[in-house]
Structure 1
């Protein structure tokens, strides 16, 4: 059966302690060192990834701000173009109205000149007709006087 002798227990404890020290020195410390290096590498990669993410977020915010600025500028340009278009439209309407008034005044003036010319022409023709009629009356009166003897 199992015997518990003090020397056996002593040497077993010594062997376990020596084995523990040897394993700790040759196995556990190097493995823990590798694990620590691995943890440090992971920590550095995580920090680098976090830094990259922060930079990406900052760039995204900058791009969004630039996009908002560009949208505002586009809206301002469109508004300015709309105002300019309205001004040009109003100016074109005013110019057209002024041209219409000018043409109407010119047409009235031309009509008045034509009426005056027609009036003069008519007066001239009336005078000619009156002269012819007076001539005929005088001639007819002279012929009548010549026949009647007076």
Structure 2
């Protein structure tokens, strides 16, 4: 059977309490400190990770904003260059039209000059022919029929030269 001795129980209880105090001082205290340090370290790493993630999000947002601005600037540059190219094309067209107009005016002037020369030459010939006709008329006595014949020949000759 089982016997209980009060002295043994008290001794075992004192030993157990002393062992508990020793274990608490030697083992549990350092383990608790180590676990607290480990928890602090984990908390610090989590905070650093959250901070890094926050910075990464901010950097991403900033880069996206800069990319958006760059795209807008590129679009503006392209639009400005298109407008400038269109203006240059229009300027080239205007210059070509002005040059064509000048060439047409010069051609008209040249035509008018040639026309004036032709008219002057024709006048000279008409005057010459008139003098020739007058001299022929004076050289002989002209009857009315001969006179009309000479006039018709003169008009025909002038008409052929025109």
Two-structure CA RMSD over aligned residues (Å): 2.2
1:122 alignment partner in structure 2: 122
What is the CA–CA distance in structure 2 between the aligned matches of 1:11 and 1:111, rounded to whole Å? 144
2:159 alignment partner in structure 1: none
What is the CA–CA distance in structure 1 between the aligned matches of 2:28 and 2:93, rounded to whole Å? 95
Q: How do 1:52-71 and structure 2 match up within 5 A?
A: 52-71=52-71
Q: 5+ unaligned residues in a row in structure 2: which ranges? A: 142-162
2:76 alignment partner in structure 1: 76
User: Shift of the alpha carbon at 1:138?
Assistant: 7.0
TM-score between the two structures when normalised by the length of structure 1: 0.80
TM-score between the two structures when normalised by the length of structure 2: 0.74
What is the CA–CA distance in structure 2 between the aligned matches of 1:129 and 1:17, rounded to whole Å? 161
Q: How many residues align?
A: 141
Q: 5+ unaligned residues in a row in structure 1: which ranges? A: 143-150
Deviation string 1:63-92 (CA, Å, 9 cap, x unpaired) is 211111111111111111112222222222
> With CA pairs under 8 Å and 6+ residues apart, which has the higher RCO, 1 or 2?
2
